[in-house]
């Protein structure tokens, strides 16, 4: 019985993994829209500079203390019993994932300048 060699398949899978991971990342135009949304809509409660207001600060230091999945769930679904709304009616899960990543990386200061 011939022995199978899964190594070539494994190498191909690993080579394509970064492309699959980025497939859902919003394009540059959508990223600019999301930056404006966070600055304007989120900023109305979290402060224009995202340093706090009605809602807590969204600074990188604070966001790194929050588990990624929890941050993503808060953005997408909101927090029941608080003023924090869910945004799933306005953004995709991929958009919410991108926003959460940007918040933990230090949110961009200007449209189009992501980290």
Smallest CA-to-CA distance from 35 within 113, 106, 111 is with 111
Q: 38-75 pLDDT, tens per residue?
A: 999 999 999 999 999 999 999 999 999 999 999 999 99
Q: Is 52 inside any structural domain?
A: yes
d(CA 2, CA 55): 63
Q: Is 8 inside any structural domain?
A: no
Q: Does 98 score more than 70 pLDDT?
A: yes
Q: Is 74 inside any structural domain?
A: yes
Q: 3-15 pLDDT, tens per residue?
A: 666 655 545 555 5
Q: Is 63 inside any structural domain?
A: yes
Rounded to 5 degrees, φ, ψ at 2 are -70, 145
Q: What is the CATH number of the domain that holds 70?
A: 1.10.760.10
| Residues spanned by the domain of 34 | 27-105
pLDDT confidence tier of residue 113, bands split at 50, 70 and 90: low
């Amino acid at each position: 019985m011939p022995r199978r060699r899964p190594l070539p398949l494994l190498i191909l899978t690993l080579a394509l993994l970064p492309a699959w991971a980025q497939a859902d990342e919003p394009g540059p135009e959508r990223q600019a829209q999301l930056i404006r949304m966070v600055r304007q809509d989120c900023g109305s409660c979290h402060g224009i500079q995202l340093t706090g207001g009605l809602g807590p600060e969204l600074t990188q230091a604070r966001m790194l203390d929050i588990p990624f999945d929890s941050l993503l769930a808060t953005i997408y679904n909101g927090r029941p019993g608080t003023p924090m709304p869910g945004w799933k009616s306005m953004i995709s899960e991929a958009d919410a994932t991108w926003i959460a990543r940007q918040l933990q990386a230090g949110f961009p200061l200007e449209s189009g300048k992501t980290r």
